[in-house]
Amino acid sequence: MARPSSPHVPAAPRPRRRPVRVAMLLLGVAMAAYTALLTALYLGQERLIFRAAPLPADHRFVFDQPFEEIRIPVPGASLDALLFPQPGSRGLVFFLHGNAGNLQTWTRGVDFYRRIGWDFFIVDYRGYGRSSGQVESEEQLVADVRAAYDAIAPRYRGRPIVLVGRSLGTGLAAGLARSVDPALLVLISPYASLVEAGQRAYPFAPAFIARYPLATDRILGEVESPILILHGSRDTLIPPSDSERLAALARAPVERVVIDGAGHSDLQAFPAYLDALAARLDRIGRPGP
């Protein structure tokens, strides 16, 4: 007797692997592109942060008031600095400028300090103006700033020294103030940290790739000197909320002045900014003998 035949069961269709392979390929390409982008950001931070404007080696500064050009030797380079002294000055303003320009551009408002009776000292970072070399690390930059301070501070022994940082220079000024205890620390348009500033500009980049954190928010609580913070209400590059947080972190006496209508680069055009700075400096120094 013949056995009944089994019903025919069709074979299961083979899985389609091509779409999976394409997806994996696209993912690999995306990851490679992302890695390349992060690598470029990691290696190119100096070009992004330090927008140096060099000056010719034979450049000569010309001002309508007395000044002294000072060369400061540092490992592997030489920093260029300017000192604007005046008779009977109240003390010294040690100024650390922002991430662009050079001594020529940052001394356009130097007459302000002459009018209120303070000597003014300003230094170019490596690669800026007539300073040689290139910025290569935060440790190097911090050491250079300290070398500049050590070069000029002995002339003002027994007299008040005020540290002023503008934008990029605020983190450096705060770090210096922690170790030298100035009569006053002035932070103009300060950031909480360059890590946060960088993530605002590049939100896709993880914090760990930042080689220049300049974490003012971790420093300011250790500064014992009085602090003045000046910030424009319309600053879109470094929001006023950064300086608000810094003021809350300070343990020393702190005064924060928000300049209504000012942005990041035009503070000096507002009389309220100049008045606030002049009034605070006036409470420190008195004419010398």
pLDDT band at 288, cuts 50/70/90? Answer: very low
* 248's tokens: 């809350």
pLDDT band at 135, cuts 50/70/90? Answer: very high
pLDDT of residue 289: 41
Would you name the residues annotated as active-site residues? 167, 235, 264
pLDDT of residue 48: 82
Q: What is the pLDDT of residues 157-211, one digit of tens each?
A: 999 999 999 999 999 999 999 999 999 999 999 999 998 888 887 777 777 777 8
Q: How far apart are the first and last CA of the chain?
A: 132
Instruction: Round to whole Å and give the CA distance between 229 and 218.
Output: 16
SS3 content of the chain, % helix, strand, coil (to 5): 40, 20, 40
Beta strands in 85-193 (DSSP E): 92-96, 100-101, 119-123, 161-166, 184-188
Weakest-pLDDT range from 37-41, 128-132, 256-260: 37-41
Instruction: Round to whole Å and give the CA distance between 197 and 34.
Output: 20
Weakest-pLDDT range from 27-41, 127-141, 143-157, 254-268: 27-41
The residue with tokens 């220079």 is 169
CB 53 within 8 A of CB 128: yes
pTM of the model: 0.87
Average pLDDT rounded to a whole number, residues 260-278: 96
CB 113 within 8 A of CB 90: no
Q: Select the highest-mean-pLDDT range: 3-7, 24-28, 50-54, 77-81.
A: 77-81
Amino acid code (one letter) for 153: A
pLDDT tops 90 at residue 5: no
pLDDT of residue 26: 66
pLDDT of residue 282: 94
Mean pLDDT of the residues in the chain: 89
Higher pLDDT, 285 or 118: 118
Higher pLDDT, 18 or 158: 158
Average pLDDT rounded to a whole number, residues 120-137: 97
Instruction: Round to whole Å and give the CA distance between 99 and 135.
Output: 12
pLDDT of residue 207: 72
Average pLDDT rounded to a whole number, residues 88-100: 96
